[in-house]
Structure 1
Amino acid sequence: MHSNKQTPVKYYVGIDVGSASVRAALVDGFGTVVAHADQPIQIWEPQPDHYEQSSADIWAACCSVTKKVVCGVDASQIRGVGFDATCSLVVVDKQFQPLAVNREGQSYRNVIMWMDHRAVSQVERINATQHRVLSYVGGVMSVEMQPPKLLWIKENLKESCWEKAGYFFDLPDFLSWKATGVTARSLCTVVCKWTYTPDGGWDDSFWKMIGLEDLVKDKYEKIGNHVLSPGESVGKGLTPDAAKDLGLPEGIAVAASLIDAHAGGLGVIGADVKGHNLPCENQPITSRVAMICGTSSCHMGISETPLFVPGVWGPYFSAMVPGLWLNEGGQSATGRLVVGLTLSRGLDELALIYLATIQAIALGTRHILETMQAAGHHINTLFLCGGLSKNPLFVQMHADITGKPVVLSKEVESVLVGAAILGACASGDFASIQEAMAKMGRIGKVVQPNHEHKRFYDKKYKVFLKLVEHQREYRSIMNSC
């Protein structure tokens, strides 16, 4: 007698904390998003360039969306959970209670958001040190990274916050702590935003040089001295309290987390491309670039060895795919030149401006790719996800202008798939992140470049490079004394 009993489907939960909302998805072992929910979270702007959130508010939203997506599913089929989040800074005291990151003393506002620019003078002083750890962030640290924010807290909220602080978490790591009670950090966050170096971990001389020697004294307990690769399982899985909050079974695997853009990259870059006639088939994953097209675009390229690319972040070890180095290029969609605008306001003119803007973004992508290739990357295929990947003109222009085929993800919500892949890896159902990526990252449409206008775009690209050069010259004139 043959049994008709089918093996029950295995599910993984991906939880993504964006800037303005929290989303969760229930994803099966084939990378299909079975259920999806989202909920807004609050942002406070007490003064210009200061952006704050509440870790309690964020966790409550995580619980609410997770309960929605797992509703009605047999708990025994849910195998693991993964988190990704913006790289915001969460501050708690020694008892893990929130500490105010503001002068008003509002302790529930204990998160300095990634986009907060309060630490401008601090980052200028840090960059002036020219310390060797800066070579791993493209030579110059961004005001959106964590050391300048920590220095700002020490200099501005010494008694109320700095001296009382027990732990400083990157938001993705705060979430895995909340779920497991374990203060381990992800290599992704500490390497990309905190200056943790793959060859030596924390560099005492850097923290002393910038005036944060107090972090060295306690053996880095406040910022993390237990670091895991993304997708590794954290502690003993979900604690009873967290399980109750999230509506998930106690003890299921919780993965070391990722920054949100990196989760998007993870969700698309490893997909199985057999039979799609792509140059990256039978080539190592290092021949691919993932492009996450949201408010701004992130270009994620990976390599076997560390490659230092001028003006591009990284190389970051194991920051997206364990064992490989990551370079992260980026462009603000609004920050690119578009030249030759007239005062005409007609519809045709508007269409031209729209096309010119999209072309400018695609030319910018080509510039980033060529800079990466000059530094040693070998890239032949683009993998796109995010909101703008739904725009056919945006996608076709990227294929035509870079001359490379563009692969679109079957699931537009690649960031959530990436978070679920982490949970799948932590559960032990897959042998590695790479295996989970190949099974769960699914290919939708493939857009080939149309070479008909290649000469035209090559000329446009030459003009684009001249414009970039001129823009730099104008900027240095305006910045000179």
Structure 2
Amino acid sequence: MRQAFIGIDVGTSSTRAGIFDEKGALLATAKHPIAVWHEAGDIVEQSSSNIWDACAAAVRGAMAEAAISPDIVKGLGFDATCSLVVLDRSGKPLSVSASGDNRRNVIVWMDHRAVAEARLINETQDDVLRYVGGAVSPEMEMPKLLWLKRHLRQSFDRAGHFFDLADYLSFQATGSLARSTCTVTCKWNYLAHEQRWSAPYFQRIGLQEFVADAYLRIGTTILAPGTPLGSGLTEAAARDFGLNPGTPVGASLIDAHAGGLGAIGGRDGSGATAHVCDRLAYIMGTSACIMATTAEPCFVPGVWGPYYSGMVPGFWLNEGGQSAAGAAIDHLVRSHPAHEEASAAARREGVDIIAFIEKRVMERAGNASEAALRARDIHVLPEFLGNRSPYADPDTRAVIAGLDLDTDIGAMERLFVAGLCGLAYGLADVVDAFRAQGVDSKVIVMGGGAGRSPLVRQIMADTTGLTVALPQTPEPVLLGAAMLGAVAAGAYASLGQTMAAMSALGRLTEPTTPGMAEFHRRKREVYGLLRRLDHASRGVMRGLDISSG
């Protein structure tokens, strides 16, 4: 082997490392857990030091599995959740927690403490908001930063660096303070198409400190994903990872965007390279991202973007999403009375509980398409963490209709399938919002662990009417991160060239019978009724203040 590239992915609960050859073949992977603190009030925090140590453990594990020399590794790249990392002026962790614990220096993407701050920012109706679908989300960084200023002012004032998690990792690896166009454009309101921050915006939303310090704490050097950073791995980072000092490191990506990069540009079955604008990326993990690439900016209400060079350099990105995807399904299953019984049965078969339930569903249905019929009389609006798009309503909550008193595993199966249908209808809402603005993709390329499920793929295809494709690689997110290292190392001249060389499409799932399309049309109508019920219910209870005792 002449060369290999490492992709490092930081998710919500673990880090993973994958090693690929120059053609995109996966050589080895390894995984390591990370700590998460959950508290009441939608507080979710992590430790950047713990995350870095987990990255090092995952890289060392993958290198041991691949049994290759560090000399073979020519480059690496990081992707991560869009979580906020706070460091002091010396680069040490600084608390974002009411506990004052400096280990807890990361506000996780799913933390919704900044709902009120997001609302304040959106009320300004600043022109910058046009490039984020008209409204910021509490999952983005400006609401979180405004929350810190309002509630933990000492930490805000003492902070020397505010990083998106992916940029923190590249900083820790290379010492470079450069930020990725992907992170700051998609989550920090950087105007990449004009290559600038907006001073009036920061002044209007109450974060004028960033203007006063010339944006030093949030980034003055913004680079395209894959751009080589500094002099590569520092001596300290190389020791941590067991790699050679100076190994090139590419500017990073958000995790879902790495999955998009690893999925949408690959060769099709004929060996031809498809245009990225023809393909929609659906990256489903704890949450889900739905990403469309366009040659010209397209403004889709309630959908983040358009972001210039947010994923593929030179193209615009629109990013829809579901704040709870895999997390919603896990919660539905865990909360069911049959969970303990099903878990024990799954352990006996040596599989996880989701695989166990899906196997039972498929055995009874006969085929993946008709399996959806199990959810005929139960309906789920699975928005446990609000609606990210296209309604941009963080206050939305889940609604379930049709529950009975059955407590056996069969009842759990029906709820499981209903949850998958609910996620598919949320995807269809975003696809329809895209289509209404002229973004008409032909294929959905599905990444993330759920993409390996034939049941999930078929429900998504039947609901949207689009072909659902799997990337040929089982690890598109890791591949996307590894592509950054390949570009940084000069193995390929551009990310576009890298995508064509290292990725390809695999299995296709087509929509099936008109009868199933009608079934999903009707269930989707019920889904809309549940959304309206949720909205109306909140309206009825709004403003109620009854003091106890």
Q: Same fold (TM over 0.5)?
A: yes
Decide which of 170, 187, 207 is 1:176's aligned counterpart.
Answer: 170
For 1:368 and 1:259, the matched residues in 2 are separated by 20
For 2:477 and 2:273, the matched residues in 1 are separated by 25
Decide which of 290, 293, 305 is 2:281's aligned counterpart.
Answer: 290
CA offsets per residue over residues 136-175 of structure 1, 9 Å max, x none?
Answer: 121111111111211222222223x222211111110011
Which residue pairs with 2:454 in the alignment? 392
1:366 aligns with 2:428: yes
Q: Point out the more displaced range, 435-444 or 170-179.
A: 435-444
Tell me if structure 1 keeps the 8 A contact 2:266–2:499. yes
Decide which of 469, 482, 492 is 1:407's aligned counterpart.
Answer: 469
For 1:258 and 1:369, the matched residues in 2 are separated by 23
Name the SS of the counterpart of 2:417 in structure 1: helix
For 1:46 and 1:305, the matched residues in 2 are separated by 42
Tell me if structure 2 keeps the 8 A contact 1:363–1:464. no
Which residue pairs with 1:14 in the alignment? 7
CA positional deviation for 1:215? 0.9
Which residue pairs with 2:251 in the alignment? 256
Which residue pairs with 2:140 in the alignment? 145
For 1:432 and 1:308, the matched residues in 2 are separated by 27
For 1:419 and 1:73, the matched residues in 2 are separated by 19
Tell me if structure 2 keeps the 8 A contact 1:337–1:360. no
For 1:192 and 1:66, the matched residues in 2 are separated by 27
Which residue pairs with 1:271 in the alignment? 266
Which residue pairs with 1:316 in the alignment? 307
Count of aligned pairs: 469
Which residue pairs with 2:485 in the alignment? 423
CA positional deviation for 1:257? 0.3
CA positional deviation for 1:458? 6.5
Alignment of 1:316-465 (within 5 A): 316-331=307-322, 332-333=324-325, 334-335=382-383, 339-345=401-407, 349-453=411-515, 456-457=518-519, 459-460=521-522, 463-464=525-526
Query: What is the one-letter code of the residue matched to 1:208?
Result: Q
CA offsets per residue over residues 404-424 of structure 1, 9 Å max, x none?
Answer: 211112332211111111111
> Closer, same or farther in 2 for the Cα pair 1:295/1:206, shift >3 Å?
same
Name the SS of the counterpart of 1:167 in structure 2: strand
CA positional deviation for 1:106? 1.8
Tell me if structure 2 keeps the 8 A contact 1:269–1:383. yes
For 1:404 and 1:115, the matched residues in 2 are separated by 29
Alignment of 1:220-235 (within 5 A): 220-235=215-230
Q: Point out the more displaced range, 110-119 or 22-31.
A: 110-119
CA positional deviation for 1:227? 0.1
Alignment of 1:43-54 (within 5 A): 43-45=36-38, 47-54=40-47
Query: What is the one-letter code of the residue matched to 1:251?
Result: G
1:25 aligns with 2:18: yes
> Closer, same or farther in 2 for the Cα pair 1:155/1:305, shift >3 Å?
same
For 2:476 and 2:482, the matched residues in 1 are separated by 10
Name the SS of the counterpart of 1:326 in structure 2: strand
For 1:123 and 1:392, the matched residues in 2 are separated by 38
Tell me if structure 2 keeps the 8 A contact 1:338–1:356. no
For 2:40 and 2:432, the matched residues in 1 are separated by 40
Q: Point out the more displaced range, 114-123 or 319-328.
A: 114-123
Decide which of 234, 239, 246 is 1:239's aligned counterpart.
Answer: 234
Name the SS of the counterpart of 2:37 in structure 1: coil
For 1:101 and 1:349, the matched residues in 2 are separated by 42
Root mean square deviation of aligned Cα? 2.2
Tell me if structure 2 keeps the 8 A contact 1:338–1:357. no
Query: What is the one-letter code of the residue matched to 1:177?
Result: F
For 2:534 and 2:503, the matched residues in 1 are separated by 39
> Closer, same or farther in 2 for the Cα pair 1:363/1:120, shift >3 Å?
closer
Query: What is the one-letter code of the residue matched to 2:499?
Result: M
Which residue pairs with 2:370 in the alignment? none
Alignment of 1:114-133 (within 5 A): 114-133=109-128
Tell me if structure 1 keeps the 8 A contact 2:277–2:292. yes
Alignment of 1:39-188 (within 5 A): 39-45=32-38, 47-71=40-64, 72-159=67-154, 161-188=155-182
CA positional deviation for 1:358? 2.4
For 2:149 and 2:34, the matched residues in 1 are separated by 27
For 1:282 and 1:436, the matched residues in 2 are separated by 12
CA positional deviation for 1:24? 0.7
CA positional deviation for 1:339? 4.0
> Closer, same or farther in 2 for the Cα pair 1:91/1:356, shift >3 Å?
closer
Query: What is the one-letter code of the residue matched to 1:293?
Result: M
CA offsets per residue over residues 386-438 of structure 1, 9 Å max, x none?
Answer: 12112211111212222221111233221111111111111111121112112
Name the SS of the counterpart of 2:43 in structure 1: coil
Tell me if structure 1 keeps the 8 A contact 2:461–2:509. yes
Q: TM-score, normalised by structure 2?
A: 0.81
> Closer, same or farther in 2 for the Cα pair 1:98/1:410, shift >3 Å?
same
Aligned-residue sequence identity (percent) comes to: 42
For 2:409 and 2:230, the matched residues in 1 are separated by 59
For 2:539 and 2:506, the matched residues in 1 are separated by 47
> Closer, same or farther in 2 for the Cα pair 1:364/1:23, shift >3 Å?
same
Name the SS of the counterpart of 1:256 in structure 2: strand
1:204 aligns with 2:199: yes
